[in-house]
């Protein structure tokens, strides 16, 4: 049992884990939507991609790697199609990340669709 004054010390050794690292590379684009705009929208949705990674990280604590997703931004700014362009992570992680890109919404591009390949690096720390 805890003596008086020790209640605050019980939490000192508690497990603290920091969120995994998600680092984006420079997007490769073809079309008329500034890369900075694409990067801003992707960064605002990091939680979606991190969740995909964290689901597999539970089973493989040292899991790290890269997923590059190729997607098309339609005339209205919606994502028309997504595909895994390259990955060093399990298919379940890569597929989940590609699917998450499908739910993003961008400003309408000028003068046509935009094709983007976007790399994301994941590591446990």
Q: Bridge-partner residues for 71, per DSSP?
A: 82, 116
pLDDT at 99 over 50: yes
pLDDT for 29-87, tens place per residue?
777 899 999 999 999 999 999 999 999 999 999 999 999 999 999 999 999 999 999 99
pLDDT at 94 over 90: yes
What is the predicted pLDDT for the residue at 13?
Answer: 40
Helix axes 46-57, 91-101, angle to 10 degrees: 160
Q: Which domains does the chain have, with CATH numbers?
A: 21-123 (3.30.2420)
Region 14-43: mean pLDDT is: 76
Provide the phi-psi class of 58: left if phi over 0, else alpha when psi is between -120 and 50, else beta. alpha
Torsion, CA 96, CA 101, CA 102, CA 106, rounded to 10: 170
Region 99-112: mean pLDDT is: 94
Report d(CA 58, CA 11) in Å as an integer.
23
pLDDT at 6 over 90: no
């Amino acid at each position: 049992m805890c003596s008086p004054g020790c209640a605050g010390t019980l939490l000192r050794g508690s497990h603290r884990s920091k969120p995994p690292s998600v680092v984006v590379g420079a997007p490769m684009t073809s079309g008329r939507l500034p890369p900075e705009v694409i990067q801003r929208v992707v960064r605002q949705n990091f939680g979606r991609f991190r969740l995909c990674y964290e689901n597999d990280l539970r089973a493989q604590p040292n899991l790290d790697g890269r997923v590059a997703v190729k997607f098309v931004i339609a005339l209205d700014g919606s994502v028309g199609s997504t595909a895994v362009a390259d990955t060093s992570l399990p298919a379940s992680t890569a597929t989940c990340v590609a699917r998450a890109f499908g739910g993003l919404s961008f400003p309408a591009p000028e003068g046509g669709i935009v094709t983007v390949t976007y790399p994301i690096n994941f590591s446990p720390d």
